Amino acid sequence: MAKNIRALAAKCVFQVVDNGRSLSDELPQAQSRAEGKDKGLLQELCYGVLRFLPELEHSIRPLVKKPLKGKQRVVHFLMLVGVYQLKYTRIPDHAALSETVNGVVALKSPHLKGMVNGILRNFQRSQQNTDTTDAQTLSEPVQYNHPGWFIKKVQEGYPQQWSSILLQNQEKPPMWLRVNQQKSAVDDYIKLLEQAEIGFDYIDPISQAVKLTHPVDVGTLPKFEQGWVSIQDGAAQQAAKLLDTQANDKVLDCCAAPGGKTCHIMESQPNLASMTAIDVEPDRLARVQENLARLGLNAKVIAADAAKPESWWDGDKFDRILLDAPCSGTGVIRRHPDIKWLRKASDINELTTLQAKILRAIWALLKPGGTLVYATCSILPEENVQQIKAFLDEQPDAVHVAITDKSEDIGWQILPGDHSMDGFYYAKLTKKN
């Protein structure tokens, strides 16, 4: 018997919101129980509910007489799945309603079928009536579908742009390709895309990243299995260009998993003396090895704590270091909407402390005259420009190298949606001889 996709989606969202589980852990497990197109529908429902969670909660709150608790709590999320379908998808209302109500049985709460059916039908009727709610009367978390603490931080950091940043976070992200220029020139690969009738609408002039008009299944990409192309956001593809490795350089990629930047660095400069990729989580290094294998690349991959080089470093200093620091992930919310509900305000201080610790430890591994690129997928100034300013103040042998054409900028902050890219921060530092 086919699995009820709405019930699976409700379980995933419940695990994220109530139990703090990562969607990237929960969703693949749930998708393994679905078939064909249902895998895509399951992803759409999970992502959609997490994108619009406060708004969906606001929609059903007046319709629920008694909040569901304990073992029945997952049914609450099933109702949110139902409301999301009615409000944001093209699924016919009758199908959305019947499948969602049937999900109550799959969740082993058949006695709640009538209640769920009634609440969803009431919501459906309220949708059909002209909505006279003034958006300005809604609280900001409901209006913008972000937690209040995060909205406040974005308002403080970007007083002119905060609203557009939050709205960009709600958009579905584009699919970017990284062409392996050891296998094919970008212009030649574009011809293969055209032959495969896969549309593209932008090529980043700096990194040569290619943005597709619409996302496609990786299996349809020409020569994917042969390592001609990888999936990587345009912002993440700036790292290799900024690192600017030269032949015979000894390179370190810190916090390297899942390995996209490691591979891009090696594709950009095939004549390195060595490439070392480290990550503190051994499980995540499997992805690094998979990416290296598909692309036919060899690197030294070590499960290691970047903050404690004495436990793994051989004493031979590096010419180039990429520090893709652990961060809040607040620049990639459109790709990972669960970040909004997993991250807490208290996490930011812990992360900035860890970033500073790693940066100080890794700086000692850089040769005089060498280059370090600091990167995060965050938009929060305390993880980015403030972090680098503090480091430059305390490290007399560190020199900031301008990336943008604005001389007063410390590093380069890419905001979500800039050239259709994710939110990212880069700072380039060199060590005095």
What is the set of domains in the chain, with CATH numbers? 5-132 (1.10.940.10), 141-170 (no CATH), 176-231 (3.30.70.1170), 239-431 (3.40.50.150)
Beta bridge partners of 318: 366
Which tokens is 336 given? 């990972």
pLDDT, average across residues 28-53: 96
pLDDT, average across residues 96-106: 97
Phi, psi of 131 (to 5 degrees): -80, 115
- Over 90: is that where the pLDDT of 183 sits? yes
Mean of the per-residue pLDDT values of the chain:
96
Which tokens is 225 given? 């299995």
pLDDT, average across residues 84-113: 97
The Cα–Cα gap between 297 and 295 comes to: 6
pLDDT for 406: 83
pLDDT for 39: 95
> Catalytic pick from 12, 263, 327, 377?
377
Q: Would you say 426 and 385 are in contact if contact means Cβ atoms under 8 Å apart?
A: no
3-state secondary structure of 426: strand
Chain segment 269-318, per-residue pLDDT in tens: 999 999 999 999 999 999 999 999 999 999 999 999 999 999 999 999 99
- Over 70: is that where the pLDDT of 34 sits? yes
**Peptide bond between residue 258 and the one before it cis (omega within 30 degrees of 0):** yes
- Over 90: is that where the pLDDT of 401 sits? yes
pLDDT for 136: 62
pLDDT for 1: 42
Predicted confidence band of residue 133 (pLDDT cuts 50, 70, 90): low
Predicted confidence band of residue 408 (pLDDT cuts 50, 70, 90): confident
- Over 50: is that where the pLDDT of 149 sits? yes
CB atoms within 10 A of CB 235: 28
Side-chain-side CA neighbours of 67 within 13 Å: the count stands at 4
Alpha helices in 365-433 (DSSP H): 385-394
pLDDT for 293: 96
pLDDT for 221: 98
State the DSSP string of 61-120: GGG-SS---GGGHHHHHHHHHHHHHHHH--S-HHHHHHHHHHHHHHTT-GGGHHHHHHHH
**Peptide bond between residue 337 and the one before it cis (omega within 30 degrees of 0):** no
Can you tell me which residue has the tokens 């490795």? 245
Predicted confidence band of residue 5 (pLDDT cuts 50, 70, 90): very high
The Cα–Cα gap between 202 and 146 comes to: 29
Looking only at the bridges linking them, the beta strands covering 366-376 and 318-324 are parallel
pLDDT for 104: 97
Q: Which residue type does 359 have?
A: L
Question: Smallest Cα–Cα separation from 280: which of 362, 194, 366, 180?
Answer: 362
- Told to judge if 377 belongs to the known catalytic residues of this protein, a careful annotator would answer yes
Predicted confidence band of residue 86 (pLDDT cuts 50, 70, 90): very high
Predicted confidence band of residue 132 (pLDDT cuts 50, 70, 90): very low
Can you tell me which residue has the tokens 């004549």? 271
Chain segment 321-357, per-residue pLDDT in tens: 999 999 999 999 999 999 999 999 999 999 999 999 9
The CA-CA-CA angle for residues 175, 205, 159, to 5°, reads 75
pLDDT for 2: 58
Q: Which residue type does 415 have?
A: L
Question: Smallest Cα–Cα separation from 99: which of 241, 212, 2?
Answer: 2
Backbone conformation region of residue 420, classed left if phi is above 0, alpha if psi is from -120 to 50, else beta:
left
- Over 70: is that where the pLDDT of 243 sits? yes
Which tokens is 359 given? 């940066």
pLDDT for 127: 85
